[in-house]
Amino acid sequence: MMPANHSGSVRRVSLHTERLTLRPTNRADADRAFEIQSDWDVTRMLRMARFPPDLDETVGWFAEHEQEWLAGTAYRFAVLREGRMIGLVDIDEVDGGEGDLGYWFEKAGWGQGFAFEAARAVADFAFGALGLTRLRSGHAADNPASGNVLMKLGFRPLSATRRPSRSRGEDILHQSYVLMREESGTR
């Protein structure tokens, strides 16, 4: 595969899995993301998110994504099921061959394997096209669903530490994980 174009950045490619299309995000995704993050059960699990979400802030965030991709600092994908956005998976904080994996999905889609299917495709992209060697991730200690997604991907639990949660407005216990490329089944 030829991961980079002649300017050195990774092409803005879509990824395809058995049931899902993952396409690089754009600013038009903000309304749908706002709708999904207006559900407290989703956003309480997102440490850096505001609740209730703010539409201007959400639009501003999506407006940065293309530039982040070109700069090589973050790669964010809208997850589409039959053409409709059901969630988002991203790799951000990319630096020194490492990055952070994150994801969130609308509640109606939970429990059907979509998070695992989509996150696996993005982890493969990170270790393959991006050439990263190490992925970090983590979840609130009271979010076993996310822990199961990470364990199924092969992530290893590291430490549990207290960290601020913006959505909850308090410190929470946060469990961190790591996945090395050679442990991931991806080359």
Ligand X SMILES: CC(C)(COP(=O)(O)OP(=O)(O)OC[C@H]1O[C@@H](n2cnc3c(N)ncnc32)[C@H](O)[C@@H]1OP(=O)(O)O)[C@@H](O)C(=O)NCCC(=O)NCCS
User: What is the binding site for ligand X (CB under 6 A)?
Assistant: 42, 45-46, 103-105, 109-116, 139, 143-146, 148-149, 152
Output the smallest distance, CB 3 to ligand X, in A: 26
Is the CB of 114 or the CB of 155 nearer to ligand X?
114
Q: How far is the CB of 27 from ligand X (least distance, A)?
A: 22
Rounded Cα distance between 180 and 120, Å, is 14
How many CB atoms sit inside 10 A of residue 19's CB? 12
Q: Minimum CB separation from ligand X for residue 120, in Å? A: 9
81 to 12, 19, 112, 146, 184: CA distances (angstroms): 19, 7, 12, 20, 25
CB of 181 to ligand X, least distance (A): 21
* Cα gap 97→23, rounded to integer Å: 22
Q: Is 100 exposed, middle or buried (0-12, 13-18, 19+ CB in 10 A)?
A: middle
In contact, 107 and 42? CB cutoff 8 Å? yes
**Dist. CA 147–CA 125, nearest whole Å:** 21
Q: Kindly tell me which of 38 and 148 has the beta carbon lying closer to ligand X.
A: 148
Measured from the CB atom, is 69 or 105 closer to ligand X?
Answer: 105
Nearest to 149 by CA among 123, 182, 185: 123
Min CB(83)–ligand X separation in Å = 18
Which is nearer to ligand X, 14 or 148 (by Cβ)? 148
Q: Which is nearer to ligand X, 49 or 132 (CB)?
A: 49
